[in-house]
């Protein structure tokens, strides 16, 4: 885990992303979505570093997907440090963020509350 990379603007976990060896994050210019990411553009226009700092319940682009939306809700409720602690603990206990491509153990959820429970406990 590269804790210093933290959480992306949209809620994805840069700190445990399999792409973090060659991607410096949302504002680095080497993020694959730098030019087209609506969430990066919107949060930057609002002078926010993350979507979770916004008061809206947004489901734009990346936030239409359950993982970034769930991570964003988690941070709104419990804080970024708590999310990073949970992700680090889960990783040590065998939970995989990217198992195949960019899909992993946090992706197989239909209900955001179940995902948040999984983040907190590391158990299904």
Q: Where are the domains of the chain?
A: 3-121
- What is the distance between the alpha carbons of residues 47 and 88, in angstroms, rounded to a whole number? 28
Give tens-digit pLDDT for 59-105: 999 999 999 999 999 999 999 999 999 999 999 999 999 988 888 99
Q: Which helix or strand (DSSP H or E) is residue 62 part of? A: none
Neighbours of 103 (CB within 10 A): 13
Give tens-digit pLDDT for 4-32: 889 999 999 989 988 888 877 777 777 77
Backbone angles phi, psi at 123, to 5 degrees: -125, 145
Residue bearing tokens 């979770």: 52
| Widest pairwise Cα distance in the chain | 38
Residue count (the chain): 124
Residue bearing tokens 């992303």: 17
């Amino acid at each position: 885990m590269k804790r210093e990379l933290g959480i992306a603007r949209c809620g994805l976990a840069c700190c445990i992303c399999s792409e973090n060896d060659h991607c410096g994050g949302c504002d680095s210019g080497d993020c694959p979505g730098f030019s087209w990411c609506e969430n990066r553009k919107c949060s930057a226009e609002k002078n926010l570093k993350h979507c979770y700092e916004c008061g809206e319940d947004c489901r734009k682009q990346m936030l239409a997907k359950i993982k970034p939306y769930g991570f964003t809700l988690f941070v709104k409720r419990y804080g970024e440090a708590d999310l990073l602690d949970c992700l680090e603990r889960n990783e040590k206990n065998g939970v995989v963020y990217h198992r195949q491509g960019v899909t992993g153990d946090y992706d197989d959820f239909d209900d955001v509350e179940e995902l948040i429970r999984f983040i907190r406990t590391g158990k299904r």
